[in-house]
Homo-oligomer: A and B are copies of this chain.
Amino acid sequence: MQLFWRNGYETTSMQMLEQEMGINKFSIYSSFGNKHSLFLESLKCYKNNVNEMFETFKNASNGVASIKQFFYDSVEANFKDNSIKGCLVTNTYNEFSEREDELIKVQMDAFMANLKAIIIEKLKTDPTKDEATILQQANFLLLAKHGLAAAARVNSKQEIEDYIEMTFKNI
C-alpha cells in the first residue's frame, strides 16, 4: 500500500513490492493472485486505515465544523512521518481517470459517495441551509478535497492549511 500510495500503480514494480514486502514474488502471487489484485487489496487496506478518521468524522457532534476538522485531520495524516503522498484514492482516481478499469472505478466511486454522504449529513445540521445549497456545498467540498489531496503532493503543509481556511470561509 505504501508503495502504491507513493508511486502510483504503474510505477510500482513487482521488484519494488518484493523488496518492500520482504517476501518473494512467488509468495506475493500465491497470496494475492496478481499485481492488480494486490493493488485492490491495498485500496481496501487504505480504506481500513482511514476508516478511523471517517468514523470520527461521522460521529462528530459539532455539525458543520466537523467537516473542516476532517479536512485538517486528512492533511495531518498526509504529512505524517515525512511521507508526502497525498491521498491514495485521489492519486488512483487521477491515474485511472483515462483507463477502463471498472473494478477500480467502483471502489473509487463508493469511497467518494461515502464521503459525500457524510458531508451532506453534516451540512444538514445547519437549519439555515436549504437543500440546494447543501448539495452545491457538498459538491464544492468534495471537489475541494480532491484538489487538496492532489495539491498536498507538491505544496507545503502550511499552504494546504491556509487553503482549508479559505475554503471554509463560505461554508
Residue positions of A touching B, CB distance < 8 A: 6-8, 10-11, 84-85, 90-91, 93-95, 97-98, 136-137, 139-140, 143-144, 146-148, 150-151, 153-155, 159-160, 162-163, 166, 169-170
Contacts and interface: CB of A to CB of B under 8 A. Distances in A.
Nearest to A96: B154
B140 A147 contact: no
A5 to B, nearest CB: 10
A162 B146 contact: no
A155 B146 CA distance: 10
Contact of A162 (B94, B139, B153): B139
Instruction: Give how many copies assemble into the complex.
Output: 2
14 contacts: A6-B98, A10-B10, A84-B97, A85-B98, A90-B150, A91-B94, A97-B153, A98-B153, A139-B159, A146-B154, A146-B155, A147-B150, A150-B151, A169-B170
B153 A143 contact: no
Contacts of A160: 143
B146 A150 contact: yes
Contacts of A10: 10-11
B147 A159 contact: no
Given A98-B6, A98-B7, A147-B146, A140 B153 contact: no
Q: Which 4 A-B pairs have the closest CB atoms?
A: A147-B147, A150-B150, A97-B153, A140-B166
Nearest to A148: B147
Nearest to A95: B8
